[in-house]
Amino acid sequence: MSTALNARPRRTAPRGFAFEPIFRALCFSAAITLLVTLGGVIVALAIGGWPAIAKFGINFVIGATWDPSPDHEVYGAAGPIIGTLITSAAALMMALPVAGGVAFFLVELCPTFLRRPIGTAVELLAGIPSIVYGMWGLFVFAPFFAKYVEAPLMTAAPAGSIWEAVFSGIPNGSGILAASIILAIMILPFMAATLRELLNTVPAAVRESAYGLGATTAEVVMSVTLPYVRRGAIGAVMLGLGRALGETMAVTFIIGNSHGFPKGLFDSGSTIASTIANEFNEASGLQSAALIALGLVLFVITFTVLALARLMLRTQAKG
Amino acid sequence: MAVSVRHVAMRRLGNVVFVGFCGAVTAIALTALVMILYSLVSQGLAGMNLDIFTKSTPAAGTPGGLINAIVGSIMMSIVGMVIALLIGVLAGTWLAEYAGDSKLGAVVRFLNDVLLSAPSILIGLFVYEMLVFPFKTFSGIAGGVALALLAAPVITRTTEDVLKLQPTALRESGVALGAPVWHVIRTILWRGAANGILTGGLLAFARISGETAPLLFTALNNQFFSWDMRHPMASLPVVIFQDALTPYPDLNKLAWAGALLIAAAVLTVTVVARAFSKESKR
């Protein structure tokens, strides 16, 4: 209150009132700019991608041949679409238990003197640009992965068994599984930080009463605190998924960039974002329309996921 | 009674497994992240020298640095931040002070949240269609606009949040003194929320300074030093992307040095932002 009195807003001359509608209109137009941007993204992608969608119809989404050679241009994006979905889902499956474990550890188990440093470190790591994760994947992780994971597993897989198919590919360290692992490492700090923030909103009384009834730490987390933030937690997970779906750089470095369906875990593949990043600048005509249409597909997928996530986080915040 | 003893033992065992799992994955996660930071710092320092800050990006096999990319990144980030602050602060003010509970306000708020986490490569495609294709040239301006569209939602969100934290009594006392609402917002509310808005701006800056995908199709790259934002412009992330994918060790080394520069800048800005937000909470 004292600041309000000290600030002493000067009495304005009546003409100051004339600016009120102008200021209001300025603020309003800024807000509308944001709306128009999002609408503009959809419209621009739809218009730019229309030639490809009109030409290939449903085959654009279900066709598996992506062939930009000028004589017989065919664009079927099933490979990148499936690649996007598989790598994101795999990354989420790997990152979720770890992120949950880190968050539970920080909130329930961690010695107090370590809580702040580890918590801060996780939050800072969530801000590291994804290209750094991509570079690490390319130069450090891929050689290690090829030598100590891919090659041994491929030699160990009995010929003719299902494992031979699962582990098929080229043992060069890049491929579907490698990209999923890098994605998982990239979304991990973000998901852990968000989950931790959510778990910290559980009132101490709720947690203490559970402990008071004799519940073990596992029971407190699984049956009291986690259900308490359930909707928010689902929202946070889906935000992580949204990041993985749209991630370009961390994936492009290490997925191998080939278009067809990936045949095994170590086979190279592509995602929507990596395909656009690799080809857009060299593309023209129908190919660039096809890439923009691919962007539209990515937008629809991520918009759905993000909208669901935001709705869930919002309900959590309210009640 | 035997059943109940076994039951307790099972619960204890379950708890031990759970606690062990949480501790183990935390250790694994931290190890992985420390390994990433270690390679970043060791490889980055190995590639660091004075040339980085004095010479432009080289062809493979010749000495060179990153100064064109550093300057390009800074200029595009500044353009992006100026536009984003303008849009973000005003839009956030509208949401907090004028929109109230209106339907339009709810829609803007929701779509801003979606924009906040939309894939950045799509923003790049959008700006390509708006500013690159019609003008027939990649440009630093287009790059700056793409970055602005990524930063604006962050600033909008923070501005709205911190303005809503200002007590209603402040607004009422301003208006009671006869000041128009816009004057109250400008001289009282923005001043009170300045720390929070600054934090949001810094976080937005940290976010855009590492963005690569939206710059690929807007600013492209430029081998030479340039102040001219009407033409293609180099930026650190794009140079890293291109140099890292070449088979030449000296360019790879340069990419690591650039990655270290970006990561260090982002971390510094984030730490400063956190310090500011702590100050405003006090």
- Claim to verify: residue B150 and residue B166 sit in the same structural domain: yes
* pLDDT of residue A205 exceeding 50: yes
User: Which residues of chain B fall short of a pLDDT of 70?
Assistant: 1-3, 279-282
**Closest Cα of chain A to B34: distance in Å?**
10
The verdict on a CB contact (< 8 Å) between B40 and A34 is no
Query: What is the C-alpha separation between A137 and A108, in angstroms, rounded?
Result: 32
Closest CB to B180 among A16, A245, A295: A16
Q: Which domain holds residue B196?
A: 52-281
The verdict on a CB contact (< 8 Å) between B256 and A135 is yes
Please, what is the average pLDDT of chain A?
86
- Claim to verify: residue B10 and residue B98 sit in the same structural domain: no
Name the burial class of residue A16, with classes exposed (0-12), middle (13-18) and buried (19+) by CB atoms within 10 angstroms of its CB: middle
Which pLDDT value is given to residue A30? 93
In a domain, A169, yes or no: yes
Which of A43, A105, A132, A276 has the highest number of chain B CBs within 10 A, making it the mutation to test binding with B? A132
Q: List, in order, residues 6 or more apart from A181 with CB less than 8 Å away.
A: A91, A94, A141, A145
Q: How confident is the model at residue A311 (pLDDT cuts 50, 70, 90)?
A: confident
- Does A250 touch chain B if contact means CB atoms closer than 8 Å? no
C-alpha distances in Å from residue A170, one per residue of A83, A151, A198: 17, 9, 42
| pLDDT tens for each residue of A268-293 | 888 999 999 988 888 888 888 999 99
Closest CB to B121 among A105, A246, A253: A246
Name the burial class of residue A284, with classes exposed (0-12), middle (13-18) and buried (19+) by CB atoms within 10 angstroms of its CB: exposed
DSSP string computed for B90-149 = HHHHIIIII-TT-HHHHHHHHHHHHHHTS-HHHHHHHHIIIIITTTTS--HHHHHHHHHH
Q: Which domain holds residue A220?
A: 60-318
- Residue reference for tokens 């991520």: A302
The verdict on a CB contact (< 8 Å) between A185 and B86 is no
The better pLDDT of the pair A16, A294 is held by: A294
Query: What is the C-alpha separation between A183 and A190, in angstroms, rounded?
Result: 12
Q: What is the CATH number of the domain that holds A136?
A: 1.10.3720.10
Which pLDDT value is given to residue A5? 53
Closest CB to B98 among A5, A19, A28: A28
> Within its chain, how far is the Cα of A141 from the centroid?
20
Which pLDDT value is given to residue A317? 60
Query: Taking a C-beta distance cutoff of 8 angstroms, is the pair B218, B132 a contact?
Result: yes
> Inter-axis angle of helices A78-104 and A272-279, to 10 degrees?
120
- Claim to verify: residue B131 and residue B245 sit in the same structural domain: yes
- Residue reference for tokens 């009422």: B172
C-alpha distances in Å from residue B133, one per residue of A242, A293, B126: 28, 16, 10
- Claim to verify: residue B124 and residue B171 sit in the same structural domain: yes
| pLDDT tens for each residue of A228-237 | 998 888 888 8
| pLDDT tens for each residue of A4-37 | 555 665 555 555 777 888 999 999 999 999 999 9
C-alpha distances in Å from residue B92, one per residue of A25, B35, B69, B88, B178: 13, 39, 32, 6, 24
- Claim to verify: residue B31 and residue B132 sit in the same structural domain: no
Among B28, B47, B66, which residue terminates a domain?
B47
Q: List, in order, residues 6 or more apart from B111 with CB less than 8 Å away.
A: A34, A35, A38
**Closest Cα of chain B to A204: distance in Å?**
20
In a domain, A147, yes or no: yes
The verdict on a CB contact (< 8 Å) between B125 and A295 is yes
Which pLDDT value is given to residue A149? 85
**CB count in 10 Å sphere of residue B57:** 22
Query: What is the C-alpha separation between A65 and A71, in angstroms, rounded?
Result: 14
Q: Which helix (H) or strand (E) holds A182?
A: helix A176-200
Mean pLDDT of the region A113-132: 87
With beta carbons under 8 A apart, name residues in chain A contacting B24.
101
The verdict on a CB contact (< 8 Å) between B130 and A19 is no
The number of distinct structural domains making up chain A is 1
Which pLDDT value is given to residue B86? 95
The verdict on a CB contact (< 8 Å) between A11 and B118 is no
Question: Which residue from B minimizes the CA distance to A20?
Answer: B182
- Does A97 touch chain B if contact means CB atoms closer than 8 Å? yes
DSSP string computed for A237-301 = HHHHHHHHHH--HHHHTTSB---S---STBS-B--HHHHHHHHGGG--HHHHHHHHHHHHHHHHH
Query: What is the C-alpha separation between A8 and B177, in angstroms, rounded?
Result: 9
Angle made by CA atoms A299, B220, B144, in degrees to the nearest 5: 70
Would the pTM of this model clear 0.95, i.e. be above it? no
Name the burial class of residue A89, with classes exposed (0-12), middle (13-18) and buried (19+) by CB atoms within 10 angstroms of its CB: middle
The number of distinct structural domains making up chain B is 2
Closest CB to A101 among B26, B115, B213: B26
Which pLDDT value is given to residue A2? 47
- Claim to verify: residue B224 and residue B100 sit in the same structural domain: yes
Query: Taking a C-beta distance cutoff of 8 angstroms, is the pair B6, A165 a contact?
Result: no
Amino acid found at A123: E
Query: What is the C-alpha separation between A132 and B257, in angstroms, rounded?
Result: 11
Angle made by CA atoms A140, A271, A297, in degrees to the nearest 5: 150
- Claim to verify: residue B143 and residue B220 sit in the same structural domain: yes
- Claim to verify: residue B83 and residue B17 sit in the same structural domain: no
- Does A50 touch chain B if contact means CB atoms closer than 8 Å? no
Which pLDDT value is given to residue A11? 55
**CB count in 10 Å sphere of residue B98:** 17
Name the burial class of residue B31, with classes exposed (0-12), middle (13-18) and buried (19+) by CB atoms within 10 angstroms of its CB: exposed
Query: Taking a C-beta distance cutoff of 8 angstroms, is the pair A41, B131 a contact?
Result: no
Which pLDDT value is given to residue A291? 92
Which pLDDT value is given to residue A1? 44
- Claim to verify: residue B30 and residue B86 sit in the same structural domain: no
- Does A152 touch chain B if contact means CB atoms closer than 8 Å? no
- Claim to verify: residue B165 and residue B43 sit in the same structural domain: no
**Closest Cα of chain A to B50: distance in Å?**
22
With beta carbons under 8 A apart, name residues in chain A contacting B185.
23
Which pLDDT value is given to residue B282? 47
3 state SS of A15: helix
Q: List, in order, residues 6 or more apart from A193 with CB less than 8 Å away.
A: A119, A122, A123, A126
- Claim to verify: residue B149 and residue B42 sit in the same structural domain: no
Q: List, in order, residues 6 or more apart from A21 with CB less than 8 Å away.
A: none
In a domain, A52, yes or no: no
Question: Which residue from B minimizes the CA distance to A284?
Answer: B133
Question: Which residue from B minimizes the CA distance to A182?
Answer: B32
Q: What is the CATH number of the domain that holds B172?
A: 1.10.3720.10
| pLDDT tens for each residue of A108-121 | 888 888 888 888 88
Q: List, in order, residues 6 or more apart from B240 with CB less than 8 Å away.
A: A131, A135, B212, B255, B258, B259, B262
Query: What is the C-alpha separation between B19 and A208, in angstroms, rounded?
Result: 18
- Does A7 touch chain B if contact means CB atoms closer than 8 Å? yes
Helices and strands: H and E segment counts in chain A: 17, 2
Closest CB to B15 among A17, A216, A273: A216
In a domain, A211, yes or no: yes
- Claim to verify: residue B32 and residue B68 sit in the same structural domain: no
A226-253 CB burial, b ≥16 within 10 A, e <16:
bebbebbbebbbbbbbbbbbbbbbbbbb
**CB count in 10 Å sphere of residue B124:** 31
The verdict on a CB contact (< 8 Å) between B26 and A118 is yes
| pLDDT tens for each residue of A89-100 | 999 999 999 999
Query: What is the C-alpha separation between A314 and B68, in angstroms, rounded?
Result: 44
Question: Which residue from A minimizes the CA distance to B146?
Answer: A37
